[in-house]
Chains A and B, each alone.
Chain A
């Protein structure tokens, strides 16, 4: 069961600092980015009235997330934030699904990925809030309903980052641990494909969607 705690690492000593890189996460993230760029290339290369499969999938993504973004934000703001929301979902979906393939690991199984994306969403939401409402209105909201609630409001905002990133990390990491342990226990017979289907494809899709929607709703809460 030593696979449970194994981490691929590269270490690098630069100017007295001991840097540790999670090799697997970096490589898998790069692979996913390459796949997404390829997908984007093939989807938009020859756009036709009768779409080819790639273009059709892309159109479904764009249509669905354009509607969701437009409902949550105004039309003007939606134009600005829609590319972020749509590509975040496509990245997360592919990241969660790639673990189904043998010898592939989900980058979202690493807390660094999900925490990074969570902090990114947090920064974007607060940037949007400051930009639309102005700094003073934004800052005043932390002193609602009474001024001494300020520290609790700040902690509440920070807890959002923790919950959004640990939700994705916990589900994906938990799924992969359960698959690993159960596969070991049944000697790889019968069960693993179903587990991969449930934890990899179903939970992966739902959690990618939940992460994206929460990022969108956090932006929407800040700007309204």
Chain B
């Protein structure tokens, strides 16, 4: 059975659609379940506040759902969108788009559930501060979506830019690597960013007066936690837009694929680790708001050390891209 390019492109877009929504469904569901669990937990202490807690739970779950919806959008586009191109290369771009959107939704989906769950708990502990807590949860959960947004951007770039004129070797691997790099590297930072947001909500329940230092420390903490997602995004952009010479062997292709994998897997651990650092640091900011600067500085230094493995991956990925 001879298969022409158009068939490959169709097959790849269906494969990408499945991968995208399949992976994307993991994270949001876990995050929402965690939120609902925390809400039920605190409801037993504060049955009178059920309305408020239920509202916060639903809002938090809606934010966590965003990551899953991004994956759903990409998979719908892959299934029903107008397919461009008649070149076999487009097939790999669709697979890469599915991987980028799907994998990147895992971390942010789980992550966005943590601030929401912590906010439900915080509401039960400190009902008078419900306004500050809800605002803090919304900011924390929305910023946690950033790695997922990076994945969506890479998916859109892969789907909507016409790459028809580029050589098949080694670009097929560049597209696959671009999807894997952003997708995998977004898992850790999404998860970790959520932890930082959860620490901030807990801290706010302890000391609602200290809203300003808590929000500042939370934004800085989530920002640094996302560094490895940014490195993954950087490697993806390089893979998409750097011009590689046409090759006759498989070697350069696998160098590019390896670059994507190196940065992708290398980004998972530092993201979660920095998130844990941020969680404990933020938890204490509410206790000693006057030492918030000291805590932020210590948190940043610690996060920088735990990020070093991600930087090794970045260096290896850059070397692989340059050698290709």
Contact = CB atoms under 8 A, between A and B. Distances in A.
B98 to A, nearest CB: 16
A217 B224 CA distance: 11
Contacts of A156: 304, 307-308, 311
Contacts of A175: 149
Given A162-B231, A167-B226, A181 B311 contact: no
Interface stretch (A46-54, A93-101, A124-132, A208-216): A208-216
A173 interface: yes
B111 to A, nearest CB: 16
Contacts of A163: 224, 227, 230-231
B220 A210 contact: yes
Contacts of B296: 217
B226 to A, nearest CB: 7
Nearest to B143: A206
A217 B156 contact: no
Given A167-B226, A214-B224, A217-B220, A4 B231 contact: no
Contact of B216 (A1, A185, A213): A213
A41 interface: no
- Of A152, A167, A224, the most chain B CB neighbours within 10 A belong to A167
B301 A221 contact: yes
Interface in A128-180: 152, 155-156, 159-160, 162-163, 166-167, 170-171, 173-175, 177-178
Given A177-B156, A210-B219, A171 B301 contact: no
B220 A214 contact: yes
B220 A159 contact: no
B233 interface: yes
A220 interface: yes
A59 interface: no
A21 interface: no
Given A155-B315, A213-B216, A221 B230 contact: no
Interface in A77-93: none
Contacts, number: 92
Interface string A1-36: 100110000000000000000000000000000000
Interface string B236-249: 00000000000000
Contacts of A221: 297, 300-301
A68 interface: yes
B38 interface: no
Contacts of A5: 161
A170 B161 contact: no
Contacts of B43: none
Contacts of B91: none
Nearest to B233: A170
Nearest to B138: A202
A174 B151 CA distance: 9
B234 interface: yes
B223 interface: yes
Contacts of B142: 198, 202-203, 206
21 contacts: A4-B157, A71-B293, A152-B308, A152-B311, A159-B307, A159-B311, A159-B314, A163-B227, A163-B231, A166-B234, A167-B223, A170-B153, A170-B233, A174-B152, A174-B153, A177-B157, A209-B219, A210-B220, A214-B224, A217-B296, A221-B301
Interface of B: 77, 139, 142-143, 146, 149-150, 152-153, 156-157, 160-162, 213, 216, 219-220, 223-224, 226-227, 230-231, 233-234, 292-293, 296-297, 300-301, 304, 307-308, 311, 314-315
Among all A-B residue pairs, the 8 with the closest Cβ atoms:
A174-B153, A163-B227, A210-B223, A1-B160, A166-B230, A181-B156, A159-B311, A71-B293
